[in-house]
Amino acid sequence: MRAQVNTDRLWDSHMEMAKIGATPKGGVCRLSLTGEDKVSRDLFVQWAKEAGCDIRVDTVGNIFARRAGTDPDAAPVVTGSHLDTQPLGGRFDGAYGVLAGLEVVRALNDANVETRAPIDIVVWTDEEGCRFTTKTMGSATFAGLRPEQEVLDGVDPDGKRFGDELARIGYAGTEPCGGFDIAAYFETHIEQGPILEDEGIPVGAVVGAQGQRCFEVTVTGEEGHAGTLPMDQRKDAYLGAARMADALNAVAFTFQPMPVITVGHVRVRPNSRNTIPGQTVFTIDSRHPRNETLVEMKTAMQAACERIAADMGLGLEMVETSVSPVVSFDEDLVQSVRDAADELGIPCCDMFSGAGHDACKIAAVAPAAMVFVPCKDGISHNELEDATPDDLAAGTAVLLKAVVATANRA
Ligand SMILES: [Zn+2]
């Protein structure tokens, strides 16, 4: 008997999981290490145990549910994602990757299919990063990219410590975080963008994730009285910053393929309604799938800001605050995703991920790949986030085939 994804069961599991932290407008609020996070973890663990899995929890709360393979020495094929959400998050971001992994195991059980390597379904802790220090905490720690103690000592805005909250919800595990071999890591996720829906393609084989460079720009002018200083004698730092934001937006349109450039956070000083702003600090988030282009963009952005500062007699300082290089997923695993879609007759296209994911961290220590499915109107990090049962099932069928092929590869 061939293992088959059960579309209704997969959908029903999503709807059951979405009840935990459900918001009035049909979304989900399940912040990391809260009571809702605990309940969602408990439900996953219950389902995984019912599917015959052994549960391990590591010291930062990552959960691994293992379906044994026939070769006890084989490194596992791992698949999963996260169960935490944004404050006004959707039902599918993260949950889909976990529940698709669970459906793979359930489908294999139904058909009595064994694999050579074991299969681990993973729930990574705190992917969203909206409560503690930063995002992808669990997977980054697993990959050795963040010091474990620093993660455990992180505090939320109320001063509650990550490690204490982890213990409070009962997921301060005893397994060491990281340190075991992963044969392959697959993550299914909603696209969180409009490409697949626009193209009418149900599955994306994700070849990598775009790189990101972030900056903080300080524009310095001179405070002055809003009623008395004539317009032609002002050094208005906010006006300069506003013109820079417009110019930065225009820079994006000069590159192909087009990058994304966002000015998302602005601080105006003294931020008084009748004082001409003497200083304005703003952030730039720039992203592109080529590292070389990111460097060219940086030069162009700097030149655009310098030109405006010079024209207006303003001071300018631009500091690079973070660099995340482009992530390339494992070519063999990406090919296994394309092959699986091909064998199933499911249309599939190569694509880049616009967002960061746990898979981007795991790619540092193991071969990794992702499978995307469409989400309605490309909307995510929003209560209105939506996906169809058939698209979720198509992505899971591709995952199932790719996981089994990889787990049986010698
Ligand atoms: Zn996610």
Listed residues: CB within 5 A of ion ligand 1: 93-94
pLDDT range class, residue 368, cuts 50, 70, 90: very high
318 Cα to the center of ligand 1, angstroms: 31
CB atoms within 10 A of CB 318: 17
List CB contacts of 63: < 8 A, sequence separation 6 or more: 41, 44, 45, 55, 56, 57, 122, 123, 171, 173
pLDDT above 80: residue 356: yes
Give residue for tokens 């616009």: 354
Q: Rounded to the nearest whole angstrom, what is the distance from the C-alpha of residue 347 to the centroid of ligand 1?
A: 23
116 C-alpha to ligand 1 centroid (Å): 29
Output the pLDDT for position 60: 98
pLDDT band at residue 134 using 50, 70 and 90 as cut-offs = confident
**Cα of 87 from ligand 1 centre, angstroms:** 13
Distance (Å, rounded) from C-alpha 214 to C-alpha 161?
Answer: 27
Tell me how far the alpha carbon of residue 361 lies from the centroid of ligand 1, in angstroms.
13
Q: How far is CA 170 from CA 4, 62, 129, 130, 368, in A?
A: 34, 12, 20, 21, 29
Per residue in 70-122, pLDDT (tens digit) is 998 999 999 999 999 999 999 999 999 999 999 999 999 999 999 999 999 99
CA–CA distance, 93 with 85 (Å, rounded to integer): 7
Give me ligand 1 centre to Cα 127, in Å: 7
Closest by CA position to 372, among listed 127, 258, 207 = 207
Distance 380 CA to ligand 1 centre (A): 9
The label of the residue with tokens 């105006």 reads 268
Q: What is the pTM of this model?
A: 0.88
Q: Ligand 1 centroid to 43 CA: how many Å?
A: 19
Helix ranges (H only) for 190-330 are: 195-199, 237-252, 291-312
Ligand 1 centroid to residue 94 C-alpha, Å: 4
253 C-alpha to center of ligand 1: Å? 28
